[in-house]
Structure 1
Amino acid sequence: MKRRDFLKVSAAGAAATAVASPAIAQSSPEVKWRLTSSFPKSLDTIYGGAEQVAKYVAEMTDNKFQIQVFAGGEIVPALQALDATSNGTVEMCHTVSYYYVGKDPTFAIYASVPFGLNARQQNSWWYQGGGMELGNEFFKKSNVIGFPCGNTGTQMGGWFRKEIKTVADLSGLKMRIGGIAGQVLQKVGVVPQQLAGGDIYPALEKGTIDAAEWVGPYDDEKLGFAKVAKYYYYPGFWEGGPTVHAFANLEKWNALPKNYQAILTNAMTNANTWMAARYDMQNPAALKRLVAGGTQLRPFTNEVLEACLKATNELWAEISAKNPDFKKSIDAMQAYRSDEYLWWQVAEYTYDSFMIRSRTRG
């Protein structure tokens, strides 16, 4: 190449770079968001999902997009996280949508409802089965957009001071449980109690309540429930696979550059997987420790489960009759659940059942 031609090409390249650089810079502005969690820092896995999001976003943007995470109560009360995001007090929150059933019971469907979807089915419905479109159509009414950002897997049924063998044993039982699950159990005789996490232990210890549910072995061990209640029941049929959501204020989300939206979406998807995997790793060892310490594991009897399923279906019919949003979402979820379990019983259940039997045989 002649020197004159080389200089022309170099000059053209430099000019192109000069034009392109501002475009790149404009698409990567300095952005700082605040995220309020509904969880305390002591529950490192469920709280940690939000920290993972902030970490991923910072790393993928060379710290140009920073998200500061606050524990429940630091700047916003734990159960007002969605409200603070909706009204723009913060840009984002990390919470469970069933905390807001007082606003509309439809919120619960996209987290977990009694006899709903398990964790994998929740993700399948959201990402591939129309759940995302339905969910965000509903969430838009609260000026937010939602993303799965964690899952605990099927939770435990809670800690009881006495054995539960029949439906009659539930009559008059004071149990810390709220939301939709509390409404279902109320139909079979339970007296639901609304208590914050920090108030559960003393209430169980004093006998103010007879039972309480939280999450599962790893988190429950941290809160010390085994010291004040002997019987640990399973499964938590009201939380077969609860999705923990990240919600972003809709205007703030729409104002983000498209590449930042993509980065944040991928960070939340990563955190969704991270939390589920971490609970699956932590729960077995915690359960072993609890049982070794004297905890008595008990399954809910089929009589109890059947009665609660009947009560659940009755409640869905009652709410659906007066709430079109709820009916639209619960009908879609139940149809999806039916097909999922048609498939589950063929391969997943058969394989898992065989492996569980093989393990118990040594």
Structure 2
Amino acid sequence: MERRQFLKGAAVGGVAAASGLAAPAIAQGNITWRMVTTWPRNFPGLGVGAQRLADRITAASGGRLTVQVFSAGELVPPLQSLDAVIDGTAEMSHGAAYYWLNKSQGLAFFTGVPYGMTSRELAAWVRFMGGQEIWDDIYDQFGVQGFLSGDTGTQAGGWFRTELTGLSDIQGLRFRTPGLGGRVWEKLGASVTNMAGGEIFPALQAGTLDAAEFVGPYNDLALGFHQIAKNYYFPSFIEPGLATELVVDKAKYQELPSDLQAIVRDCSQAEYDQVASDFYANDPRALATLVNDHGVTVRYFPDEILEAGANAAKEIIEELRNSSDALTARTTESYLEALALVRTRTEQNDARFIAARERFFTL
């Protein structure tokens, strides 16, 4: 999708949604909830996933719980989505937990951790190894409930105007990247900022950013980063399995009948897997378009950068492990304990199979 077509569609969707602003409606036992998102309307993978999740909940409930989606900026600014749920402006938000590190550093572990869990490992921790319970404890402080709602898989490393030959090329680099990964890049010498996806292209175009990472080819093609930077680095070592979240007002959620609670929870889980399949199917197609039609060069980070990034990640995680905030320390400890176990399966089984397939099996 060309950037101008995508943005035109987003603008039209924004006008349509804005015209429907209304307080939550309850009529004949039916409820309408507002979902604010950090994504542009019709945004591949993430924005589409948010809308599909809303539609799933509405359909599965037979309209008893109808979810109305407001994309980035339509009701609140994108990076105020969580606050909108906390203050009652909306009943739901769809975004990424590591956008809210000002609330708790522990939230980083429910999105993506440098050199941390892949998306399948993360789901194992959250669903079966105590992660959800810790997440609940963090969000209880703010009166909200979080659910995994989408999965991009391992992301791309980012767009750079010039080739990176080593650490010296990072010094002073103005780079958009969020979360703990941003702290890693700061330790490597970059000047890091975070901004919503729709704000990145203008910043690159204006020269206020030298480089940026967002998700991967499927999203990045739509946002047009290839028009500014041609060096596309893989893979991301700071976002090995990024998850999005659905956040709901906990009191209102608990007031729902048990079947509607289950629908919200189970539709979120289904959408986590659906978004992953969407990215797996469309990232390779988008990358082929970027390379073949737009002259993008695929590159891989030099070992010097990868090793320095790993060392920086260890320092940051150790700081969180010893945090004075008990919940952050507990989250870090639980995450690391789970990672030590689940990585054995990934590395002994999945990684060796992938290496063997790459080496021996071609058609």
Q: If the length of structure 1 is used for normalisation, what is the TM-score?
A: 0.88
Cα offset for 1:206? Answer: 4.1
Aligned to 1:98: 98
Percent identity, aligned pairs only, is: 33
Aligned to 2:30: 30
Between 1:310-319 and 1:224-233, the stretch displaced more is 310-319
Kindly indicate whether the alpha-carbon contact (under 8 Å) linking 1:174 and 1:191 is maintained by their aligned counterparts in 2: yes
Cα offset for 1:186? Answer: 0.8
Residue-by-residue CA offset, 1:263-297 (whole Å, 9 max, x unaligned): 22111111111111111111011111111132111
Aligned to 2:340: 338
Aligned to 1:85: 85
- Structure 1 residues 243, 194: closer, same or farther in 2, change over 3 A? closer
Query: Which runs of at least 4 in structure 1 moved beyond 3 Å after TM superposition?
Result: none
Cα offset for 1:146? Answer: 0.8
Q: CA RMSD in A?
A: 1.6
- Structure 1 residues 289, 357: closer, same or farther in 2, change over 3 A? farther
Q: Secondary structure of the residue that 1:67 maps to in structure 2?
A: strand
Cα offset for 1:114? Answer: 1.2
- Structure 1 residues 296, 206: closer, same or farther in 2, change over 3 A? same
Letter in 2 for 1:97: A
Show structure 2 runs of 5+ residues with no match: 1-27
Cα offset for 1:208? Answer: 2.8
Kindly indicate whether the alpha-carbon contact (under 8 Å) linking 2:44 and 2:222 is maintained by their aligned counterparts in 1: no
Letter in 2 for 1:243: A
Kindly indicate whether the alpha-carbon contact (under 8 Å) linking 1:159 and 1:232 is maintained by their aligned counterparts in 2: yes
Kindly indicate whether the alpha-carbon contact (under 8 Å) linking 1:99 and 1:179 is maintained by their aligned counterparts in 2: yes
1-structure distance, mates of 2:196, 2:38 = 11
Greater radius of gyration (CA): 1
2-structure distance, mates of 1:199, 1:63 = 35
Aligned to 1:168: 168
Between 1:289-298 and 1:195-204, the stretch displaced more is 195-204
1-structure distance, mates of 2:220, 2:122 = 23
- Mapping for residues 16-95 of structure 1, pairs under 5 Å: 29-95=29-95
Kindly indicate whether the alpha-carbon contact (under 8 Å) linking 1:40 and 1:71 is maintained by their aligned counterparts in 2: yes
2-structure distance, mates of 1:321, 1:199 = 32
Aligned to 1:6: none
- Structure 1 residues 76, 199: closer, same or farther in 2, change over 3 A? closer
Residue-by-residue CA offset, 1:154-191 (whole Å, 9 max, x unaligned): 11010001111212221111111233222111111111
1-structure distance, mates of 2:125, 2:29 = 34
Cα offset for 1:322? Answer: 2.7
- Structure 1 residues 83, 156: closer, same or farther in 2, change over 3 A? same
Residue-by-residue CA offset, 1:138-167 (whole Å, 9 max, x unaligned): 111111111111011111010001111212
Kindly indicate whether the alpha-carbon contact (under 8 Å) linking 1:52 and 1:267 is maintained by their aligned counterparts in 2: no
Cα offset for 1:357? Answer: 2.6
1-structure distance, mates of 2:98, 2:185 = 16
Between 1:43-52 and 1:152-161, the stretch displaced more is 43-52
In the alignment of these two chains, the number of paired residues is 334
- Structure 1 residues 248, 198: closer, same or farther in 2, change over 3 A? closer
Q: Secondary structure of the residue that 2:153 maps to in structure 1?
A: coil
Q: Secondary structure of the residue that 1:246 maps to in structure 2?
A: strand
Residue-by-residue CA offset, 1:22-67 (whole Å, 9 max, x unaligned): xxxxxx9312111111111141320122222222222222212211
2-structure distance, mates of 1:188, 1:60 = 47
Kindly indicate whether the alpha-carbon contact (under 8 Å) linking 1:174 and 1:190 is maintained by their aligned counterparts in 2: yes
Q: If the length of structure 2 is used for normalisation, what is the TM-score?
A: 0.88
- Mapping for residues 299-338 of structure 1, pairs under 5 Å: 299-319=300-320, 320-338=322-340
1:203 aligns with 2:203: yes
- Structure 1 residues 324, 346: closer, same or farther in 2, change over 3 A? same
